[in-house]
Structures are given as C-alpha cells and as structure tokens.
Amino acid sequence: MLHYVYCTLLSIMILLACVSTSAAFGRQVAPRDHFPVFNNPRMWSATEAEELRLVLPNDAVIGIARGGEAKAYPVSIMGIHELGNDIIAGLPIAVGW
C-alpha cells in the first residue's frame, strides 16, 4: 500500500514538472548572468549591520553556523544576487535564494 502511495505521488510530481516546464520551454525570462553571483562578501557584525541600517530588526536572513562561526545573508540582498559563494570555518559554501 505504501509503495502505491509513493508511486502515485511521484507520478503527480513528474506530471506537474512536465506541465510547468513545457509552457516555458524555449523562452528565457531573464538574460544570462542577469543576477550577479557574489563571491566572499564583506561581513559586518550584527551591531554594525544594524547601525549602518544594512539589516533592520525584522528583516529575514539566511543564516549558517559552523565551527563557532556564524554568518547571515539578508534576503533583500539575496533577491538581487540569488546565488553567492563564501567560506565559513574553512569550508566553501554556496548560498542560494
């Protein structure tokens, strides 16, 4: 029974993917490289970012913490770039929105 449910859900997902991509197939919505990728962005402390009004208290951020290091990427900035490359605790990461 459970196998049947998984197969049915998978079939529905494939069908939806085909329908949604067939309408856009062959049409490019934004030109290539329209959203610039950032590399190793400059970071401020939370206090500095708020003082400079780069981030407001209720702004949404994408956050990551690893090895005692934490970074936050404001959604307002990610909406412009959509993808970024950075390093946290010596590990290369890609941040996407």
pTM for this structure?
0.63
Q: How far apart are alpha carbons 22 and 25 in whole angstroms?
A: 5
Two structure tokens written together for 27: 């049409």
pLDDT tens, position by position, 1-26: 555 555 555 555 565 555 555 455 56
Amino acid (one-letter) located at 57: P
Q: In this predicted model, which residue has the larger pLDDT, 4 or 52?
A: 52
pLDDT tens, position by position, 67-81: 999 999 999 888 888
Q: How far apart are alpha carbons 28 and 10 in whole angstroms?
A: 27
